[in-house]
Copies of this chain bind each other. A is one copy, B any other.
Amino acid sequence: MSNLESFRKETRDWLEANCPASMRQPMKDEKDVCWGGKKFEFANDDQKLWLDRMAEKGWTAPQWPVEYGGGGLSSDEAQILKEEMKAINARDPLTSFGIWMLGPALLKYGSEEQKKHYLPQITRGEIRWCQGYSEPGAGSDLASLRTKGVDKGDYYEVTGQKVWTSYADKADWIFALVRTEPDKPKHEGISFLLIDMESDGVTTKPIKLISGKSPFCETFFDEVKVPKANLIGTAGKGWDIAKYLLSHERTNIVGAGGMAAGLNPVGAAHKSGEVDDKGRIADPMLRADVARLTIDALAFEATMRRVKDESDAGQGVGARASMLKYIGTELNKRRHELNLSAMGADGLLWEGPDPSDGGPARDWLRSRANSIEGGTSEIQLNILAKRVLNLPGA
């Protein structure tokens, strides 16, 4: 038996023995997602047990080094773990911005001491993180941020406002970009700081979207004291870390776009009874538009696969994340438009007796943000024009 085969067997046995039965059921609602953190209320004991057991193995962050609370797995082993978890429908033990956003930055830019301190808290789900990049007025021009951190010797005094800080009201700490050297050019002079949300002077306010309630908040800093020990990397070099993290975020939004592939205007047409006796969408023009959408959806699916294959083989175009983000989010918007068209007025419902009423319209509205968040479509096109096509600057 090869090493990988024996790893698969051991993993399977361990999961079988340790994953509680209730954690092998599909999630029913938002509460079933385990975010961890100090304020988190576990939905039940199994949810906590499952987190603790997985964290113990380091498998909440399977590929992170063991010394920082990770599993130390190779990429092949991590893939096997994923497959075996999927085979028994095991839930993710922990959903965490700490793992998929802050962690990679800490691993790359953090000091040994910082890694030792923060990473295990993340893998054990003890500290919940949120992200503080964007500011009102900054938008796509992220580097124009104005939240300032005044050097006060052993700490920075941080004052300003962040926006689009997801779950800031539920997070324990925030990783934030702060302008610490105001006289430098705009991409310099920015530092990457870790800030305790319980510090004096931090407040949050939820943001309501056109689609309704959202996890987004505004976060305000009023003369917040941040110890210099909480600076990651070099002072004034936070922009490099931000760029590194943004590529992670972009990839994630592409994934979100892909998820909506389950959304099917054909199904909507069937549900609204708008099909002919052969099961075809009765409106020939809607059918044509859905056919064209289907072709692009198939093409996108194939492109995701191809990009992966090429990437594994060290081939392919650059700035793939920008390309996939642009195509995937624009496709997703079209999909939602057609879904509503297939539903007719039923798709316009905002709320109603049926709990699912309003869902399609709110999802449609939410989809519009896909081509804005994580870098607008326009920014992605700029990136492709410059980095892939090498077109000259204006």
Give the nearest-CB partner of A289 in chain B.
B288
Question: SS class of chain A's interface: helix, strand, loop or mixed?
Answer: helix
Asked if A262 CB lies within 8 Å of chain B CBs, one says no
Bound: A288/B290 CA distance, A: 13
What B residues does A288 contact at CB under 8 A? 284-285, 288
A122 to chain B minimum Cβ distance, whole angstroms, is 44
> Measured between C-beta atoms, what is the minimum distance from A391 to chain B in Å?
15
User: Which residue of the partner chain B has the closest CB to A288?
Assistant: B285
Is A17's beta carbon under 8 Å from chain B? no
How many copies the complex holds: the figure is 2
Chain B residues with CB under 8 A of A284: 284-285, 287-288
Contacts of A287 in B (CB 8 A): 284
State whether the Cβ of A394 lies closer than 8 Å to any Cβ in chain B. Answer: yes
Kindly report which residue of chain B lies nearest to residue A394, judged by CB atoms: B394
Shortest A337–chain B CB gap in Å is 16
User: Is A291 interfacial (CB-CB < 8 Å)?
Assistant: yes
Of residues 176 to 224 in A, which have CB atoms within 8 Å of B's CB atoms? none
Q: How far is the CA of A285 from the CA of B285 in the complex (A)?
A: 7
A293 CB, nearest partner CB in chain B, Å: 13
**Chain A positions 270 through 290: 1 when the CB is less than 8 Å from some CB of chain B, otherwise 0:** 000000000000001101100
Taking beta carbons and an 8 Å cutoff, which residues of A are in contact with B?
284-285, 287-288, 291, 394
Q: List 7 A-B contacts (CB under 8 A).
A: A284-B284, A284-B285, A284-B287, A284-B288, A285-B288, A285-B291, A288-B288
